[in-house]
């Protein structure tokens, strides 16, 4: 391969690789956003969804403290199969797998450690 051709090719490869990394980072941010949006829509009437503030309903735990009670992953099943039907005030939610992933990723990202 001649040099004048090899150089632009190399540049293109480096740019593509960089773009790939950016996509992964954006993917995580987008996933957190999606999880946050889902929780805001479905849960924020009772729970504090973000990193600050109290739950609108005093008896509903703030989401950023959930991991103090149990690991966040353990919510996966409840989210996918109908959430906490044992709590009479809380409506039943069933989320699709990608939404469960987004919700868990978001919850993980806001936990107080
Ligand atoms: C109508 C109000 C309401 C809505 C909407 C609501 N919750 Fe709750 N949730 C509660 C209350 C009240 C409790 C505390 C119940 C208890 O401890 O018996 C609770 C408890 C929880 C708990 C803790 C359960 C435990 O065993 O400690 C989790 C996790 C939870 N909610 C997740 C969610 C998610 C996720 C959503 C949205 C998809 C949601 N909730 C929507 C009222 C609500």
Residue 83: C-alpha distances to residues 3, 23, 42, 56, 104 (Å):
61, 32, 12, 19, 13
Q: For domain 31-110, which architecture applies?
A: Orthogonal Bundle (1.10)
- Residue 44 Cα to ligand 1 middle (Å): 10
Could you say which DSSP state residue 40 is in?
A: H
* Pocket residues: Cβ below 6 A from ligand 1: 39, 42-43, 45-47, 57, 59-61, 66, 69, 75, 83-84, 87, 89-91, 93
Tokens describing residue 7: 């150089």
Predicted model pTM: 0.80
pLDDT per residue, tens digit, the chain (113 aa), is: 566 667 666 666 666 666 666 666 778 999 999 999 999 999 999 999 999 999 999 989 999 999 998 899 988 888 887 765 556 677 778 888 999 999 999 999 999 97
């Amino acid at each position: 391969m001649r040099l004048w051709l090899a150089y632009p090719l190399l540049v293109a490869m480096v740019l593509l690789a960089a773009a790939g990394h950016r996509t992964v980072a954006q993917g995580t941010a987008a996933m957190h956003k999606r999880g946050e949006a889902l929780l805001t829509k479905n849960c924020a009437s009772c729970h504090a969804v973000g990193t600050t503030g109290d739950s609108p309903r005093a008896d509903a735990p703030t989401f950023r403290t959930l991991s103090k009670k149990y690991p966040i992953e353990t919510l996966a099943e409840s989210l996918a199969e109908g959430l906490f039907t044992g709590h009479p005030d809380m409506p039943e939610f069933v989320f699709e797998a990608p939404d469960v992933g987004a919700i868990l990723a978001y919850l993980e990202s806001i936990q107080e450690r």
